[in-house]
Structure 1
Amino acid sequence: MDQAVLPLSPTEQETSLGSIVPPHTADAYWLTPYGAPGAWSTNTTYIVGHSWEGRASPFNNISSLSQPGDVLTVTTAEGPVHYKIDRVTTEYKDTLKDSAIWDKAPGRLVLITCFMEDLGGKNIIIQASPLPAA
């Protein structure tokens, strides 16, 4: 996926409910109250976006295209940051707020999108760890 990532600040209500719905666009969004990409990050970095049925989106089919061990690159103003995918899982939308993905994990990257086979009920979660700088 080669996708620009826009900043998104969830509302206080979304954060307290653990239910963050990005704008209904094909864009990717970085949740700004949490971590920023980079090994120096003091929290988890979250990037969210929609999967779409019948229209293109960089998040479509991400679960079938991503496997543990794959490398993701996030390009920041300071340069590229490389991550190794640790896990690709599905979680029910109504229990996501209680998921361990919200535990603070410095440097970790989490991608969240809808599961194409159950757009209304499940999310795909990709968790990745930063690789040492080359």
Structure 2
Amino acid sequence: MAAPIGLTVEAAGIDVAVLPLIPTGADIASQSIVPPFTDDGYWLASYGTPGDASTNTTYITGHSWEGREAPFDRFSTDTEAGDTITVTTGTGTLDYVVDSITTHDKDSLKASEIWNIVPNRLIIISCYTEDPWGKNVVVSAFPASN
């Protein structure tokens, strides 16, 4: 297991750096996490770490942008169930297969089942491009079979 440093979805043209993000006390209290306003992805470091011995869900989040192209926009528009997501870590790469893509109202995401502990699961969260202020897109993926 190692911290993620990159995320690629070749089918959707997504290739982003992933940086660690540790939720603050205020984030935890409000049950709301807003990553820095960049094109990068952010790994929620206080949850799971990707790899064979993962005991929790790994979460990566990033912004979609209104009025300009951004890599995380493509999770709403160009990613499909069955696509491969490659997570690069300091020790190699891990392939995941997209299981589902759903949308959630921003105000109800904190009560969503995506926060249930599921070892080896990858969850990617961004704004939903058709309603960036009201909804989030959530991509769920599991390790590819070898």
1: CA distance between counterparts of 2:29 and 2:111?
Answer: 11
User: 2:59·2:123 contact (CA, 8 Å) conserved in 1?
Assistant: yes
Give the secondary-structure state (helix, strand or coil) at the position aligned to 1:60.
helix
| TM-score, scaled relative to structure 2 | 0.86
Percent identity over the alignment is: 52
Q: Structure 1 residue aligned with 2:130, among 105, 117, 120?
A: 117
Question: Is 1:6 equivalent to 2:13 in the alignment?
Answer: no
Structure 2: stretches of 5+ with no match in the other structure: 1-13
Point out where structure 1 has 5 or more consecutive residues left out of the alignment. Answer: none
Residue identity opposite 2:132 in structure 1? L
Contact 2:64-2:129 at 8 Å conserved across structures: yes
Q: 2:33 matched to which residue of 1?
A: 20
Q: Are the aligned partners of 2:76 and 2:137 in contact in 1 as well (CA < 8 Å)?
A: yes
Match 2:117 to one of 92, 98, 104: 104
8 Å Cα contact 2:16/2:39 also seen in 1? no
SS in 2 for 1:118: coil
2:68 to 38, 55, 62: 55
Q: Considering only aligned residues, what root-mean-square deviation do their CA atoms show, in Å? A: 1.1
Q: 2:6 aligns to what?
A: none
Q: Identify the residue that residue 4 of structure 2 maps to in structure 1.
A: none
1:29-88 Cα deviation digits (max 9, x unpaired): 000000112232111000000000122321013222111111111011121101011100
Given that 1:83 and 1:131 are in contact with CA atoms closer than 8 Å, whether structure 2 keeps it comes out as yes
Structure 1 stretch displaced more, 81-90 or 36-45: 36-45
Distance in 1, matches of 2:77 and 2:130, equals 11
What are the residue-to-residue correspondences of 1:69-88 with 2, within 5 Å? 69-88=82-101
The number of residue pairs the alignment matches comes to: 133
Q: Which of 35, 38, 46 is the aligned partner of 2:51?
A: 38
**What is the SS of the residue equivalent to 1:59?**
helix
Residue 127 of structure 1: aligned partner? 140
